[in-house]
Amino acid sequence: MKLDSYWTDSAPAFSPAVHALPGQVDVAIVGGGFTGLSAALAFARRGARVAVLEAGTRVAAEASGRNGGHVNNGLAVDYADVAAKVGIAKARAWYHAYDAAVDTVARLVREEAIDCDFMRHGKLKLATRANQMGALERSAQRLIDDGVDTEVEILDAASVRGEVQSERFHGGLLYKRSGQMHMGRFAQGLATAAQRHGAQIHTGTAVERIERLGQGHAHRLHTARGTVTAQQVLLATGATRHGGYGSFGWLRRRIVPIGSFIVVTEPLGAERAQALLAARRTYTTVANIHHYFRLTADHRLVFGGRARFAISSPQSDAASGEILRAGLAETFPQLGAVRLDYCWGGLVDMTQDRLPHAGERDGLYYAMGYSGHGTQMSVHMGERMAAVMNGDANANPWQDRAWPAIPGHFGAPWFLPAVGLYYSLKDKLA
């Protein structure tokens, strides 16, 4: 069992063209994940001089390459709860931003001819207890009544068993606009497209400090390889642990890095895989500590969840893998002692309200906090923030949102075990 991401291990690595670090650029982007690469592509298409500065040795090797492979529409939190807090109009707009985000991924795959097994078969949110079906039915009806998503559909237990070979589920809520793809191949294609259009991508280039020049948007970025002066800067770092705390402290106090863990089976064979998940959708269970799963093009089962409230590390990943092995056996006992070929963890950049945050502060632009629902939104927001920085403030669907610091959150998230116990108790009492 490799303690490595299946997505990055089974995709060709992007090899950036060798350039000296530019002294001056129009736009510097800190972070080479989906947000940064998407923004770089959008800027490069307009002819801007753009440089992506990525701390790691490979693009999209953190959250963008260490997720479950889902490209889902729908909010990460219940639409009705959001509508009660901010009103129907704003909640509807935010929900539709996720529809637009899936559309953005589909369009870029088509326009740039990215070979990444993109398909749009929908997402099925599964009830593991009978009493959860009422909440799913209310969610569906509210989405339909408010004119937010008239395509959602409730499936009963028999319908779910018709496409999911498991006795564990009592029904589900189908979101028909969701998709999936091979994250590693998408990353390689997105980076290649950005570079082809003229963006420079510099890996192994951690930004250690950011210095504001005057009162505008110009900044000087300090790295071990030298400095870059940029007329504009986009921070697309997510829950990064790179860089000096001084330049990124404001963001880090607003994001909790939470581990999410995944295992991937050996190839099951086409017939066995088709019997297991006949509709080949993305699937997620109803719970705070939930499971999510899907099949790959080579007929493996990708099975993940927040197995432990801990930061990813080799030891933590291996321990989480054993917990996920038990969850997989409970969900699909017919797989028996199927071999697990991959096990890995990644950091989710969780915000207090579990919604993205994007905007400008002290002359720096930022987009992050996707809260485990970001493969599509990160791509979308890279493109949207490029439009914002080009003068279209209304391009940002998350504009003008307050983002208070998380009380007591300084440095490492010491409170994660307590958070895990709290959510475990909520699930047990639900």
pLDDT score for 316 = 74
Q: Is residue 213 part of a domain?
A: yes
pLDDT score for 311 = 63
| 322 Cβ neighbours under 8 A, 6+ residues apart | none
Give the whole-angstrom CA distance, residue 421 versus residue 390: 45
pLDDT score for 252 = 83
Give the range of the structural domain holding residue 201, as residue numbers without chain letter.
Answer: 6-420
Q: Is residue 429 part of a domain?
A: no
pLDDT score for 240 = 66
Give the whole-angstrom CA distance, residue 8 versus residue 10: 6
Q: Is residue 357 part of a domain?
A: yes
The alpha carbon of 108 is separated from its chain's Cα centroid by a whole number of angstroms, namely 17
Q: Is residue 304 part of a domain?
A: yes
Task: Name the DSSP letter for residue 333.
Answer: G
Identify the CA nearest to 323 among candidates 420, 430, 256, 419.
Answer: 420
Q: Characterise 245 by phi-psi region: left (phi > 0), alpha (psi -120 to 50), beta (else).
A: alpha
Structure tokens at 39: 């923004």
Q: Is residue 353 part of a domain?
A: yes
pLDDT score for 1 = 87
Q: Looking at residue 208, which CATH number applies to its domain? A: 3.50.50.60
pLDDT score for 260 = 84
Contact 265, 335 (CB under 8 A): yes
Q: Is residue 222 part of a domain?
A: yes
Torsion of CA 351, 250, 100, 50, to 10 degrees: -150
pLDDT score for 409 = 73
pLDDT score for 417 = 52
pLDDT score for 241 = 61
Structure tokens at 132: 């959860």
Contact 283, 245 (CB under 8 A): no
In a structure prediction context, what are the per-residue pLDDT tens digits for the chain, which is 430 residues long?
Answer: 899 999 999 999 999 999 999 999 999 999 999 999 999 999 999 999 999 999 999 999 999 999 999 999 999 899 999 999 999 999 999 999 999 999 999 999 999 999 999 999 999 999 999 999 999 999 999 999 999 999 999 999 999 999 999 999 999 999 999 999 999 999 999 999 999 999 999 999 999 999 999 999 999 999 999 999 999 999 999 866 665 445 688 888 898 888 889 999 999 999 999 999 999 999 999 975 689 999 999 999 999 986 555 666 777 778 888 899 999 999 999 999 899 999 998 888 889 999 999 999 999 999 999 998 999 999 999 999 999 999 999 999 999 999 998 887 766 654 455 454 444 455 455 6
Q: Is residue 31 part of a domain?
A: yes
pLDDT score for 253 = 86
| 219 Cβ neighbours under 8 A, 6+ residues apart | 28, 210, 211, 212, 213, 229, 230, 233, 363, 364
Dihedral sign (CA 319, 321, 322, 326): positive
User: What is the domain count for the chain?
Assistant: 1
The count of other CB atoms within 10 Å of the CB of residue 302 is 22
The count of other CB atoms within 10 Å of the CB of residue 246 is 10
Q: Is residue 85 part of a domain?
A: yes
Whole-model pTM: value is 0.93
